[in-house]
Amino acid sequence: MARVKHAKAAANYIHHSKNPKAQHNAASHLRKKRDREVINVPGWEHLRETASQIKMHTLSNLDKYLEEFERKATQNGVKVHWAQDGNEMNEIVYGILDQHQVPYLVKSKSMLTEECHLNDYLEKRGIDVFDTDLGERIVQLSKETPSHIVVPAMHKTREDISELFHDTMKTEKGNLDAKYLTLAARKDLREKFMNARAALTGVNFGVAETGTVTIATNEGNADLGVNKAPVQIHCMGLEKMVPRQMDLSVFLRLLGRSATGQSITTYSSHYQRPKPGGEMHIVLVDNGRSKHLGMEDFWTALKCIRCGACMNTCPVYRSGGGHSYGYTVPGPIGSIITPARDINQYDDLPFASSLCGSCSDVCPVKIDIHGQLLKWREVIVDHGIVDKSKSIPMKMGSKVLSKPSWYRFAGSIARKVMKQFPGLVSSMVKDWTRGRELPEVPKESFRSWYIKNKKKNDK
């Protein structure tokens, strides 16, 4: 199915969805919680800088650390697999489940398996998948995709969820009590957990020194699943690596605070060895990451620890909703990852930003997100990928902006034209004015106002 471009999908969300404010309110709420928590951490900026450097160090020695990680994990009795792309990851996971004749899989939140469409793959082959994180379960039951990487059902209201649970779990109609609904989902999944023979999770950090898989969650679903089932599988993107156990101290201090304003998530698990009598598998997944590593201007996007802070703070994400990006990882970080994976498909996303820079300000690993958005725009325009309505005015714009006298002249003409023919101007920028008003035209330019007032003040 062809992907709908961001501008259209976002407009659709704003004008035609039932609750276009749900996402906005939830994301703003998280952003505020983050600020309240972060302000109390002495040396926060230093912590961010340290995290950024550790990630750059790791990525620039990634082959070495992956090998060390594999060696250590293997010594610990873990089976390590390598997958070049999503399909290979799916094959590997299916192979393990098939070998054990597992009827179903309990899975905890993993954006990587969303990225690789694992659920589809397994269900087509007769293995049911139960997403066990509440938010993820909600989107699974409603046959949707996550709209946020940390809070997958962020776009849904209590009313939506109450209705969904009534239809799928026979909860009381119209009961909006969040506790009642949560406990209903807990009960519904309990039996699945208790009898599961295989469980799968994503990974937040892999530690080379100790072969550790670290997972940060709040609900306890990941750990309950993994520890009840004899077979545990962890799917991990290559970029999740950190060198030593001590490095975890830096990232776990940043992750929960940036994500939801928690000093740490309720559970931060460290798996080194399989349970007695059990099996532990780690699948290392590339799926475009090694290629991304070679992009001089863009490789630092791989530092991302998937906290979601850049989404929560982004005005474009909050208004247009997570689904409008048409990719598993939405928001500012999604908009710089996607073109690295497939520039033809996602050439619209670097334009889905106001470049306000708030994303870069909150990012716990200091990715220059808005800088990269701008760079991607250049790349896309240079390659002529961008559609004409954006590229010609942009080229003219940059010509005019590069010469002060042209700019001044263009400004004086524009002020006149806009006064005389406001309708004409609106229709020229009609995509921009949809949902907005053009501002009133000032009588004079800022420059002439400034010169006049400066003279006054100098007197």
Partner 1 sequence: MTSREIILGKIRKNKPDSIEHPGIPDFSWPGEDPIDRFGVKLSQIGGEVQLVESYTEALQKVDKLEGNVVKYLVSEDRVLNDEEPETTVINGELAVVENAAVFVNVDRLPERFVPFLGERLIVLVQKDKIYKHLHEAYDHLDLNQIGFGIYIAGPSATADIAQILVRGAHGPSKMEVWFYNDRK
Query: Which spans of this chain sit near ligand SF4 (rule: CB under 6 A)?
Result: 258, 304-310, 333, 362-365, 367, 369
Distance of alpha carbon 363 from alpha carbon 319, whole angstroms: 20
Distances (CA, A) of 239 to 60, 115, 253, 395: 11, 15, 19, 36
Q: What is the Cα–Cα distance from 225 to 234, expressed in whole angstroms?
A: 12
> Residue 172 is which amino acid?
E
Give, as ranges, the residues between 295 and 324 that touch partner 1 (CB under 8 A). Answer: 296, 299
Nearer to partner 1, 119 or 265 (CB): 265
Q: How far is the CB of 299 from partner 1 (least distance, A)?
A: 6
Question: Using the rule CB under 8 A, is 74 a contact of partner 1?
Answer: no
Contact indicator for 55, 204 with CB cutoff of 8 Å: no
Which tokens in the block code for residue 61?
């020695």
User: With CB cut-offs between 5 and 8 Å by kind, which of partner 1, ligand SF4, none does residue 131 bind?
Assistant: none
Write down the least CB distance from residue 331 to partner 1, Å.
18
Q: How far is the CB of 239 from ligand SF4 (least distance, A)?
A: 11
Closer of 29 and 275 to ligand SF4 (Cβ): 29
Calpha distance 402→398 (Å, rounded) = 6
Q: Which does 333 bind (CB under 5 to 8 A by kind): ligand SF4, partner 1, none?
A: ligand SF4
Residue 259 found at the interface with partner 1 (CB under 8 A) = no
Residue 174 as a binder of partner 1 (CB under 8 A): the answer is no
Q: Are 457 and 34 a contacting pair, CB within 8 Å? A: no
- Minimum CB distance to partner 1, residue 235 (Å): 14
Kindly tell me which of 92 and 362 has the beta carbon lying closer to ligand SF4.
362
Q: Does 433 bind partner 1 (CB under 8 A)?
A: no
| Those residues with Cβ within 8 angstroms of residue 147's Cβ, 6 or more apart along the chain or in another chain | 23, 139, 153, 154, 155, 321, 322, 323, 330
Residue 46 vs 190, nearer CB to ligand SF4: 46
* Contact call for residue 270 and partner 1 (CB under 8 A): yes
Residue 266 binds which of partner 1, ligand SF4, none (CB < 5-8 A, kind-dependent): partner 1
What span, in angstroms and rounded, lies between the C-alpha atoms of 148 and 27? 9
Q: Would you state the torsion angle of the CA atoms of residues 51, 53, 59, 64, taken in this order, to the nearest 10 degrees?
A: -100
Q: What are phi and psi of 311, to 5 degrees?
A: -70, -50
- Write down how long the chain is: 459
Among 247, 279, 347, 368, binds partner 1 (CB under 8 A): 247
Per CB under 8 A, does 88 bind partner 1?
A: yes
Nearer to partner 1, 160 or 357 (CB): 160
183 sits near partner 1 (criterion: CB under 8 A)? yes
- Using the rule CB under 8 A, is 424 a contact of partner 1? no
Q: β-pairing, 212-217 with 267-271? A: antiparallel
Residues 92-151 close enough to bind partner 1 by CB under 8 A: 132-135, 138, 151
Q: To the nearest whole angstrom, how small is the minimum distance from the Cβ of residue 300 to ligand SF4?
A: 10
Task: Write out the two tokens for 371.
Answer: 């800088």
In angstroms, the Cα distances linking 150 to 22, 303, 344, 456 are 15, 17, 27, 55
Where is 404: in which H helix or E strand? helix 404-420
Determine the Cα–Cα distance for residues 373 and 339; give it in Å rounded to an integer. 10
Task: Kindly state whether residue 189 participates in binding partner 1, applying the rule CB under 8 A.
Answer: yes
Please give the Cα distance from 407 to 417 (Å, whole number). Answer: 15
Neighbours of 53 (CB within 10 A): 14
Nearer to partner 1, 129 or 250 (CB): 250
Pair of tokens at residue 426: 């609106």
- Applying the rule CB under 8 A, the residues between 331 and 370 that interact with partner 1 are none
CB 100 within 8 A of CB 231: yes
- Residue 293 interacting partner from ligand SF4, partner 1, none (CB closer than 5 to 8 Å by kind): partner 1
Considering only 14, 267, 391, 445, the residue that binds partner 1 (CB under 8 A) is 267
CB of 140 to ligand SF4, least distance (A): 22
Q: Which is nearer to partner 1, 93 or 250 (CB)?
A: 250
**Region binding partner 1 by CB under 8 A among candidate stretches 213-221, 393-401, 415-423, 441-449:** 213-221
Residue 68 is a binding residue for partner 1 (CB under 8 A)? no
Measured from the CB atom, the residue of 91 and 391 that comes closer to partner 1 is 91
| Cβ–Cβ under 8 Å, residues 206 and 214 | yes
